[in-house]
Amino acid sequence: MAYSILESCVNCWACEPLCPSRAIQAALPHFLIDAGKCTGCEGEYADPQCASICPVEGAILNELGEPANPPGSLTGIPPERMAAAMAEIQAR
Amino acid sequence: MELKVLGQDTQPAGGCSSGGCGGSSDQLGHLPEAIRDKVKNHPCYSEEAHHYYARMHVAVAPACNIQCHYCNRKYDCANESRPGVVSELLTPDQAVEKVMAVAANIPQMTVLGIAGPGDPLANPERTMETFRQLSAKAPDIRLCVSTNGLALPAQVEELSRHNIDHVTITINCVDPEVGAKIYPWIFWNNRRIRGRKAARILIEQQQKGLEMLVAKGILVKVNSVLIPGVNDGHLREVSRVVKAKGAFLHNVMPLIAEAGHGTFFGVMGQRGPTHTELQALQDECAGDMNMMRHCRQCRADAVGLLGEDRGAEFTMDKIEGMDIDYAAAMEQRAAVHAAIEENREQQRLKAAGVHVPLTALQGGRETRPVLMAVATSGGGVINQHFGHAREFLIYEASRQDVRFIGHRKVDAYCSGDDTCGEAETALQRTIRTLAGCEAVLCSRIGFEPWGLLEEAGIQPDGEHAMEPIEEAVAAVYREMAQAGRLDAPAPRLTRATA
């Protein structure tokens, strides 16, 4: 099963030129991945290219249907550390 | 000592407080003639020029290759004016059409920049195609680009081919330890890289790009976002390093962080700097190099004079209905620019005639510096009604000179999460924004704000309508000195908050 893009996509074009299989289409209301072409970058790159540059958490699902960028991946702060990080930031 | 208002020629002895560090109208005074010529009509680089000339950004570059904690790509709010935000993404062809239409309708336009909403150099084809077409069709318009620097070394050669003589790099740190608190990740060599390693690569690329641009003779301005508790103690070092490498201007900007913007810093409650903190840091960095204080942190599709945004007049559907004679428009621009230059020259001459020895007026007594707010809609004169001002320019008058300090917006962005409570009126908010100022100069002012300003210890002044700003500020300072108001310490004022 291929990667897919959800409606939280902001159409920023970052993923489109990176896809080694040219599986990403600029479409409205949001970009789409052609499931027939997507290889998950298998054999091409260590990481799926679209998900590695996507600036929106949860906008791309992997072949298992799970968010390729889960909550916390955008900021680098996992949900369980959020409260502590917030306290530290607000003390600045 | 003479009160200098224009044409700074002295070198700062140490920080702005000693005067002449570029705070006055032409903060580019110390630059070599060749550079001054390149930037004197550039509203983003020359404080004086920004009163007269307009700029625009075209949003052709949506993709970004890094993540910053002060940016959120999800939001597009038409009411917001800040980088990274844009309403209408354009193709290069559309962008060129828009630039030609704006340049025909706003003949004060001198500059076209590409600044996003992502990173222009992460979208090299779109960015370069726009530049390629414009350098052919509107050769009188200067082209610039703003970048985070990650892809810069790879693009310097291409940039130099497109008649681009100004590049802005946003450099928030030169230490990966600091960088890791600002950039959660970068996309580099086909991988998402996090933490200090990511920051180290970004910093290396920024510095390398800066050196390469300088070697090519391309002017480089450095933008830094001041983030209290993160890089506030570090930006002096940044200023020192980028100056040593040949950047000609350093622009320290306040962090914009509000929960309503959905940025990491906004949501987490990271505060922005107070006006006082920003000014103090700009002053500290000024010992090292030329500082810029009039930046308005524009949107990636801003149109018009700095401080105004006429983008809504030039949406693609409106442009399609316009009938434009491009050749005539370019001639008109040349005529308008010539008239502006004549006006600037006259103001310069006029100002030179009004230098007044302040020490004589004061019998040699020490007088303290005073902050004043000015309402202007452009042209370098006081010509705006207090109630119409969406921002105030802040000047500091002292025995030495009148210097521009910065601007304060009174038309808040989306003020979704205002900590001051809903009971505060727009007028009260404006007055709070002016905290620290002792006078406000405007063309006219209503009865109600007059009274409230006086209560707040800010003297309203409508006596200097249509006068050149620095001249009027100097005059008010003299009046205050003569009235003995400058012998006393500054009245206790509420500290301005960002």
Q: What is the CATH number of the domain that holds A58?
A: 3.30.70.20
Q: Say whether the ipTM exceeds 0.90.
A: yes
Interface of B with A in 240-279 (CB under 8 A): 264-265, 268-271
Domains of chain B, each with CATH number or no CATH: 31-320 (3.20.20.70), 356-482 (3.30.420.130)
B100-141 residue pLDDT tens: 999 999 999 999 999 888 999 999 999 999 999 999 999 999
Q: How far apart are CA B271 and CA B227, in angstroms?
A: 8
- Cβ contact A14–B269 (<8 Å): no
Name the pLDDT band for B496 (thresholds 50, 70, 90): very low
Q: How far apart are CA B6 and CA B336, in angstroms?
A: 23
Question: What are B162-205's pLDDT values in tens digits?
Answer: 878 799 999 999 999 999 999 999 999 999 999 999 999 999 99
User: Which positions in chain B touch A56 (Cβ < 8 Å)?
Assistant: 73-74
Contacts of B458 (CB under 8 A, 6+ apart): B373, B431, B434, B437, B438, B439, B440
Q: What is the pLDDT of residues B217-227, one digit of tens each?
A: 999 999 999 99
Q: Give how many domains chain A has, as a whole number.
A: 1
| Domain hosting residue A12, numbered range | 1-92
Please check the confidence at residue B151 and state whether its pLDDT lies above 90. Answer: yes
A76 touching B (Cβ < 8 Å): yes
- Report pLDDT digits (tens) over B236-252: 999 999 999 999 889 99
Of B128-132, B225-229, B362-366, B474-478, the poorest mean pLDDT is in B362-366
Nearest CA in chain B to A10: B74
Averaged pLDDT, B74-83? 58
Residues 182-211 of B with CB under 8 A from A: 184-185, 187, 190-192, 194-195
Cβ contact B123–A13 (<8 Å)? yes
